[in-house]
Each structure stands twice: as C-alpha cells, then as structure tokens.
Amino acid sequence: MKYYLIVGEASGDLHASRLMASLKEYDPDARFRFFGGDLMQQVGGVRVKHYKDLAYMGFIPVLLHLPTIFKNLEKCKKDIVDWHPDVVILVDYPGFNLKIAKFVHKHTGIPVYYYISPKIWAWKEWRIRAIKRDVNEMFSILPFEVPFYEKKHNYKIHYVGNPTAEEVCGFRQRYAETKEEFCHRHSLDEKPIIAILSGSRKQEIKDNLPKMLEAAGHFEDYQMVVAGAPSISDAYYEPFLKDTGARIVRNATYELLSHATAALVTSGTATLETALFDVRRWSAMRRPSRASSALPSSILSRSILSLWSTLLPSRR
C-alpha cells in the first residue's frame, strides 16, 4: 500500500516514524511519502517537505508567513493528488492537517486517518464538525479522549495506547549512564540540573526561553541545561543563552530528564515525558495552554504541579 503522512513538529516526527516502522512489519510492500522529519526519513520513503518549514505559531508569525503557508498547502494537495496514495495519515498539527483533510475528503476518494487527535477538548472544540465530516478514522493516544468523542460528540474513535509512555518506559529500562558520566559527556559541571524544554518551534523558543532562563537563573546552586530541538540550530539558541551560564545538549532529552532535579517545560508532549521521568516540573508558557499544563494530570487523574520554590531542595 501507499501511505501519505503529514506531521508538523518534532514529536509528530517521532511518533510517525514509529508508526511507519510498525506498518512495514505488517505490510512489507509499504511505500511512504510524507511531510515530515529526519526520523521518518530514516525509516524510508520520500520526504516532500521537512516539518521545520511548516512550523509557524502565533498570530503575527502566521500572518507574516501566510504566502509560504498557502504555498505549502497547495504543494501538499497537488502531491497527494498526483501520487494518489491508498490512505492519508495526519499526525496532530490541526491548523494544517484539517485543511488537508477537508480537501482530500471533498476532491478525492482517498480515506483520511488521523493519528494523535487535535486537542479539541482543550481549545477550538468546534473543530469536531470538520473532524466528523472529513476524517474516516480517528486514532487516539489519550484514554480520556474516548468518552469525549464518543459520549459528548457521538463520534467513535480508536484508542491505541500512548507511544510516549512506551518510549519512555523502554528508554528507562535500557539507560544505565550515571549522572557523572552524562555530565562529563556533555561538558557539564556536577551541580543539580534544571532541565529547560522550551519547545520545538522557533516562535515557541523565542516566546518562552528568555523567561524560563530568567526564572531558573535565580537558583545559583543549580545548572541550567537546555534540550535542543532537533530542527533548530545552535546558532538560533546562542543569543538567548549568551551570558546566562546555560548549556545546551543535543539528541539527549531523555538522558537529560533522567538526571534532572527539576524542569521548566512548555509543550504538551514534553510535560507528559517529564512526568513519566518523575521529574518535578513547572509548565511555563507566555501563551498559557490548558492542554500543555493539564495533559499529565488528565492522564494520571491527579495534579502533579507544585510550587517551584518548594520543589528544588528535595531532589539533588
């Protein structure tokens, strides 16, 4: 079968790459074409566009890049029609993907599957109308979304388990590096670590990282370590990190969380990952998000947020 996948950020790239690998086990003749990232490319197939060229957020950045956004939408629509896959698989990223779903539903006979539901339970619940109209099957990774869709909106979905939980569990079982070894490998000192996960998009980092560094910088007995986003260069981080004493690590977010005393986190997936590592965390966003702050609590059915100042002394 021919599969066309669309993701718009780093977490989607990770989850879609795992999905592609699983599909290949069931369908040895699987062919992939996608808007995605490096992890999907490693699985195989043709990458039409990298997600880093799609990731705009915030009113002003979106407004400034409208011509590029429209161009990417048209490129994606045309490519789907020309390649004519057996199925289109959308991964989160609703601002872009729901427009693609509408087009595919209206102009082709290709089924649309949605893997990782838009968080319409947190905001823009009116999107349910488009989902019910344009999406053939919805595959959820959050258990509380099942009653939300099925009982509140009479739309049957499939709960398929949470890949983040599986990924973190597998990593923790394999990982044996000590904190001293981790710090030596990344040229860090021996102070307790405040991990800073400022997002995977440039606008997220620009909006949140300066304030996160300012807040964490008050704790002089700790070292600030930023988890670099896969698609963002060190050069982009440099102006924010200058004169702060913060360091950046690459391709080691799970390792960083394994040894962190506390964390400042922005995005929804990262808050869940941090909770699964038992790291005391503080969600920090200039644009407060119910989804990002409530996601781990919703899944675990308990609050995991506490006052920042009360957390640091207890885990060193």
Q: pLDDT by residue (tens digit) across 198-253?
A: 988 888 899 899 999 999 999 999 999 999 988 889 999 999 999 999 999 999 99
| Other Cβ atoms closer than 10 A to 28 | 7
Of residues 188 and 268, the one with the higher pLDDT is 188
Q: Give me the mean pLDDT over the 86-105 stretch.
A: 96
Distance (Å, whole) CA 246 – CA 217: 9
pLDDT tens digits for range 22-73: 999 999 999 999 999 999 999 999 999 999 877 555 545 555 556 778 899 9
User: What local confidence, expressed as pLDDT, does residue 31 receive?
Assistant: 98
DSSP three-state, residue 220: coil
Residue 200 · residue 231 · CB < 8 Å: yes
E-state strands within the chain: 2-6, 31-36, 46-50, 87-91, 112-115, 137-140, 158-159, 193-197, 223-227, 247-249, 260-265, 280-283
| Residue 289 pLDDT greater than 90, yes or no | no
Distance (Å, whole) CA 123 – CA 205: 22
Q: Give me the mean pLDDT over the 132-140 stretch.
A: 97
User: What local confidence, expressed as pLDDT, does residue 66 receive?
Assistant: 65
In this prediction, residue 156 has a pLDDT band, given cuts at 50, 70 and 90, of very high
Residues in the chain: 316
Residue 62 · residue 70 · CB < 8 Å: no
Task: Find the helix packing angle between 290-300 and 268-276, rounded to 10°.
Answer: 30
| Residue 283 pLDDT greater than 80, yes or no | no
User: What local confidence, expressed as pLDDT, does residue 63 receive?
Assistant: 56
- With a pLDDT cut of 90, the percent of the chain lying above it is 68
* Helix extents (H) in 122-188: 128-134, 145-147, 163-174, 179-185
- With a pLDDT cut of 70, the percent of the chain lying above it is 84
Half-sphere exposure of 101 toward its Cβ, with a 13 Å CA cutoff?
29
| Residue 305 pLDDT greater than 50, yes or no | no
Q: Give me the mean pLDDT over the 147-153 stretch.
A: 97
Residue 2: burial class (beta carbons within 10 Å; 0-12, 13-18, 19+) = middle
Q: How far is CA 271 from CA 145, 244, 264, 276, in A?
A: 18, 24, 9, 9
Q: Residue 240 is inside which H or E element, if any?
A: helix 234-241
